[in-house]
Structure 1
């Protein structure tokens, strides 16, 4: 089985680091013809793009804050202007701000839903609209979370955003199956990304040794790696996963419900 993207134009959000950057790099290695990379860290996104450009695909980078309602149109517009179409989309960007049932605030609710659910919806709308207008097949992958099943107590609002995106994933897949547009998701478990390191070591105050302590509690003795999520995302983007659609795969170290 060959997992190839064979000249496809792929949009990836959250591409400056972590899962998004890993997806972008693997997409380039897998034959993507062009990549549109977006992140609110414009300099980091540009650096990832420059590293990828030498592998063959043309790269466009877009600095965009997904909490801005106009960000989806700006990202999709950049893809259409430069490359004329969108063949694939990976919604990898997301915020993991902590908030429980007791300490959540309207501001955290609005920010998390804006970035984790609203922006992916409008990006999907842009991508699907482009595909339908051209009568072309396409694939979308949403990076969800294992927390969509319930969620840790301090991730109540975050979990709700991922649950919303999980439903949108299935809704879009059902609505556009006859258009040959596949939409799938990854319920990602605890991964060792740069953003998680900042959250754990600085925001939550667990210090630089948090990763070793966390890894010791996990069944595999480590956290998930961004590259593992990237392999699954690129598979779901590729024709090798057809006709799979409307599926949310758990990428986690524990069996949900066990």
Structure 2
């Protein structure tokens, strides 16, 4: 038996003399979220036989402007309990909003002496209904360069740009270490006409001649080491890909790499028309 428990599902009925007379701000917020069904889960409970799968639908309703939070306990009978923090944001129409997933970002480790370090991506998501313009303050990167024999440790290729509503901007970076150590820089990101955020970028440089294949991150880009994937079907879905994601792994410069996947139609009488939406990558200037 497995179940998702909201705070109201975990309350214990108390005697009148033991009931709390006043609620704090967090409790009042959770009560409002639950009373208005801001977050919903379907199904909230059920049983799974060995090898069985279950699609769980999570919904967030944009009822109130602001940030909604709710702690949800996922409980397995005679097993583990996992605390999930549900967070949702609702903004007004015509209001700017850029979502920063975290105040820190870790670059993929790069070997020192690499003459062509890889371009790495930091994403900015526009969750509002109007376009926004971002600007990354790069003068701090020049200060890091001056302290490292005028070598560009951190380089941002597209420090300015516009993000359309509901889309993600890929900010391209190059991390080029000259020593086997950890580099850190705090970079302000401004959204014109809105707020700013201070993001800490961190990268690790390592000596491949010293660590060799013992480096725990020498194959970090090959995060998909298992070619087999569990295919989870959504009710009513007739078309699916043989793989949900594809990893090309570490590819030598100026070589080609290919992967084979299958598009399957399990319907017995309905043909399927498909089209790949190819989105060009913006690699900066």
- Output the TM-score relative to the length of structure 1: 0.25
Bigger-Rg structure (1/2):
2
Structure showing the higher helix proportion among its residues: 1
- Output the TM-score relative to the length of structure 2: 0.23
Q: Looking at both structures, which has the greater relative contact order when contacts are Cα pairs under 8 Å and sequence separation is at least 6?
A: 1
Structure showing the higher strand proportion among its residues: 2
